Structures are given as structure tokens and as C-alpha cells.
Amino acid sequence: MTGRTRTVTWDDPHAISQHVGTLSGLEIARRIVDKRLPTPPIARLLGFELVEAAEGFCAFACKPEEFHYNPIGVVHGGLAMTLLDSAMGSAVQTTLDAAQAYTTLDVNVHLTRAITKDTPLLRAEGRVVHSGRTMRTASGELRDAAGKLYAHGTTTCLVMQA
């Protein structure tokens, strides 16, 4: 066996959460995109980043790597699920004002093809489908630059006071 090493560093997550209640969800997302707020720890750990944010829309990018592998020799499906959950949930977050917060109630992901370290850069896009007062839904797709679909999903989020 040959060991491999990966070192992960991250910023204090409170650097972002301290702005909940003072900035809108869209303002927080845009500050992460333009690096005025740090990348959340989960994104650092798994190697993905928020690359685009608009009202009702967010996109994350990730290059699949060997450290994402499961025991059967492909990228664990949890990576696709996490990318889509992040994109869809963040899309919902961009619709919230500073006095609101959200939590995921349900997420459903369909994997459509295997992902390996040879898969090109992936982009997960989430879009709000329904924006109710207390419930919001979003859909998402995970594709490569050529448009190949690797996974798609939906989420339902509960909106509450921050």
C-alpha cells in the first residue's frame, strides 16, 4: 500500500455566519464568490467552490479527484449529492432577506453516470422553482463543460426567521 496525503485548511466558519441577520442571502453568496467572505469549510474539504450567484440561482464548480473515490473505484455519489444540495440550497438562500434563514427539508438526487478522476470539471447549477412564504423548492443539474449530465435533483427548503 502507498499512502497519499491531502492537507485541508479552512477559515473560521463564523466569518460567514456572523453576517446572517445583517446581509441578504444574495449578498452573502456574492461576497463568497468574489472572495470578500471565505469559502465554507465543507467546500474546502471536498474541493469545490461557489462560482456564480444571482437571485434564485447559484453555481458551484468541482474537479473530481482520487480523494473522492469510494471502495469500488469511482467518485462517491455523495460528492454529486453534496454539490447539488449546495447549489440548490444556495439558490434558495439567494432569495432570502437578512431577516430570513432556511433549512433543507428534503433533497432528492438522481445519479446518471459514473464520475472518476478523469471526469472534467463539473458544474452544479441550482435554480429556485417555487418561492413561497415558508416553503421554497429548487432544482439542480450537475454537468461537465460539454453538457454531459452526471446527476440532477430537487430540494424543498423551509424558510424561517433568522
Q: What's the pLDDT score for residue 72?
A: 96
Residues 142, 74: Cα–Cα separation, whole Å = 16
Residues of the chain with pLDDT under 50: none
3-state helix, strand, coil in the chain (%, to 5): 25, 40, 40
Q: What's the pLDDT score for residue 132?
A: 97
pTM for the model? 0.96
**Could you give the angle at the alpha carbon of 103 between the alpha carbons of 82 and 8, nearest 5°?**
40
Q: What's the pLDDT score for residue 1?
A: 73
Q: What's the pLDDT score for residue 90?
A: 98
Q: What's the pLDDT score for residue 23?
A: 97
Q: What's the pLDDT score for residue 2?
A: 82
Instruction: Judge residue 7's burial from the number of C-beta atoms within 10 Å of its C-beta, 0-12 exposed, 13-18 middle, 19 or more buried.
Output: exposed
Residues 144, 113: Cα–Cα separation, whole Å = 12
Q: What's the pLDDT score for residue 50?
A: 98
Q: What's the pLDDT score for residue 9?
A: 96
Domains of the chain, with CATH numbers?
A: 14-161 (3.10.129.10)
